[in-house]
A = this chain, B = another copy of it.
């Protein structure tokens, strides 16, 4: 199959490696010529160009640009495509993408491969990045069955676990387990830094250990990515933040009231329920 990949970063580059290993002919497009050269050199694509009209011969195109560029890129791309081309994206928020693209391209299905590393860019591309990782597909009532089946078959080939849901369900789920943690983790770091006693701050920095390290990790991540999550998944994230704050307030109240029995119940509840989110 001729497969296009528009956007040759970690995700696009890794998809290319796996799809080529399953015998597909992969055509890459990047805005930068140097990225195109690297993608060919590392075997992530068969050919690459800065000109997106090379994708006119692709049967399926994966849009792998940053979140904010997905819709404008598709708007430009579809002027070159036959109506039979299946489009899918890999954005980490689905509702605004699906709402914007569905009316302008019939053969579209939103997707989100939930895989990655701390690195980015074509140099970070990895073989088998998606094996046994969730890959969410968000077809709507108007998505053609043929488009769903074609993308699903490719996702199976790269070894992912496929989940189907509505775009809104995806966005609410990731707001809880991916976007909310970034905001509460960032608040931990900024709270610590706001200490007025400089000696206690220095001591905190010296004594911080694995507990602080883990809880603060995602709050110390890429700022642009954090803003994208908040911008594109604003409603779901605000809802999660509000419910999270209610839960935090309940814990604060139990400590204020010195209600140690109920606090222990609460911590026993969180201890026993955490494993339902953790695979290994």
CB within 8 Å of B: which residues of A? 114, 134, 136, 163, 165, 169-170, 172-174, 176-178, 180-195, 197, 199-200, 203-209, 211-224, 226-227, 230-231, 234, 237-238, 240-252, 255-256, 258, 260, 263-264, 266-271, 273-278
A211 touches B182 (CB 8 A): yes
Chain B residues with CB under 8 A of A276:
205
Chain B residues with CB under 8 A of A177:
192, 204, 207-209, 211-212
Q: Which of B209, B252, B260 contacts A245 (CB 8 A)?
A: B252
Q: This chain: how many copies in the complex?
A: 2
Q: Considering the complex of A and B, which 4 residue pairs feature the smallest CB-CB distances, nearest first?
A: A220-B274, A223-B267, A208-B277, A181-B215
A207 touches B174 (CB 8 A): yes
A252 touches B248 (CB 8 A): no
Task: Name the distance in Å between A117's Cβ and chain B's nearest Cβ.
Answer: 10
A215 touches B217 (CB 8 A): yes
B170 touches A209 (CB 8 A): no
Q: How far is the CA of A274 from the CA of B188 in the complex (A)?
A: 10
Q: Is the interface of A mostly helix, strand, loop or mixed?
A: helix
Task: Name the distance in Å between A275's Cβ and chain B's nearest Cβ.
Answer: 8
Q: How far is the CA of A170 from the CA of B177 in the complex (A)?
A: 33
B163 touches A277 (CB 8 A): no
Residue in B closest to A168 when the chains form the complex, CB atoms: B200
Chain B residues with CB under 8 A of A189:
270, 273-274, 277
B184 touches A215 (CB 8 A): yes
A186 touches B230 (CB 8 A): no
The answer to whether residues A271 and B222 also contact, given A177-B204, A211-B182, A244-B187 and a CB cut-off of 8 A, is yes
The answer to whether residues A200 and B172 also contact, given A187-B251, A270-B189, A278-B208 and a CB cut-off of 8 A, is yes
Chain B residues with CB under 8 A of A209:
114, 134, 177-178
